[in-house]
């Protein structure tokens, strides 16, 4: 049986925080996570936009001052356009990605979004596993979309399905 994330259990002393909304105060830690997880996908000014822009929504999980996970997107006319999900390499496969992304999707729905969309590289099996597990399905493909020649899959989710997602508690060893 899966455990509900909201189950009343004392947190493990080294557990990351529950997902919290991020703003410009998280600029340094978000950039540091971006470097560790994605080799520096966005510049400082792009991160400033992402965290400070009206209509952008961003959640992350902390351990002390360090950001371990992040999921971010833009609210555009009733749709959440997912821009980035990242988990610290040493914290992967413990449920953080699923937890932080589900929180973002649920908050987008709470704020009136009906759908979420994203683009994911055809070769990114980890991200596709994460998105597929939450109910995203592929609705299109952009060939040779990325600089390395990789295609982008366009994926879509009706957010009403996210209400039903029970978030399993992350596992810590």
Ligand X SMILES: CC(C)(COP(=O)(O)OP(=O)(O)OC[C@H]1O[C@@H](n2cnc3c(N)ncnc32)[C@H](O)[C@@H]1OP(=O)(O)O)[C@@H](O)C(=O)NCCC(=O)NCCS
Position among 16, 50, 72, 98 found at the interface with ligand X (CB under 6 A)? 98
Name the catalytic one among 66, 119, 122, 146. 119
Run of H or E residues at 76? strand 66-76
- Both tokens of 98, joined, read 């699923």
Tell me which of 40, 55, 129, 140 binds ligand X, using CB under 6 A: 129
Binding of ligand X at residue 95 (CB under 6 A)? yes
Helix/strand/coil (H/E/C) assignment for every residue in 18-53: CCEECCHHHHHHHHHHHHHHHCCCCCHHHHHHHHHC
Active site residue 79: no
Which region, judged by CB under 6 A, interacts with ligand X, from 19-27, 52-60, 92-100, 104-112?
Answer: 92-100
Cα separation, 103 vs 167, in Å, equals: 9
Residue whose CB is nearest to ligand X in the complex, by number? 97
Which is closer to ligand X, CB of 18 or CB of 112?
Answer: 18
List b or e across 113-129, with b for residues whose CB sees 16 or more CB atoms inside 10 angstroms.
beebbbbbebeeeebbe
Least distance from C-beta 139 to ligand X, angstroms? 17
φ, ψ (nearest 5 deg) of residue 153: -90, 135
Selected from 51, 57, 80, 87, the binder of ligand X by CB under 6 A is 87
**Does residue 119 carry a catalytic annotation?**
yes
Does position 67 interact with ligand X (CB under 6 A)? The reply is no
The dihedral region occupied by 39, where left means phi > 0, alpha psi between -120 and 50, and beta the remainder, is left
Active site residues per annotation: 119, 131
Could you list the residues that contact ligand X (CB under 6 A)?
37-38, 84-87, 92-98, 124-127, 129-130, 133
């Amino acid at each position: 049986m899966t455990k509900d994330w909201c189950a009343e259990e004392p947190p493990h002393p080294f557990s990351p925080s529950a997902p919290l909304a991020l703003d410009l105060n998280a600029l340094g830690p978000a950039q540091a996570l971006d470097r560790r997880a994605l080799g520096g996908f966005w510049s400082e000014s792009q991160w400033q936009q992402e965290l400070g822009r009206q209509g952008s929504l961003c959640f992350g999980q902390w351990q002390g001052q360090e950001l371990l996970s992040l999921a971010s997107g833009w609210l555009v006319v009733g749709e959440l356009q997912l821009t980035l999900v990242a988990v610290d390499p040493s914290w992967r496969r413990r449920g953080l990605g699923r937890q932080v992304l589900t929180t973002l999707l649920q908050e987008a729905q709470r704020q009136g979004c009906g759908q979420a969309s994203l683009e994911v590289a055809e070769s990114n099996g980890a991200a596709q596993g994460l998105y597929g597990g939450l109910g995203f399905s592929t609705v299109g493909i952009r060939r040779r979309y990325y600089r390395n020649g990789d295609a982008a899959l366009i994926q879509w989710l009706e957010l009403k399905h996210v209400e039903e997602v029970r978030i399993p508690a992350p596992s810590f060893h």
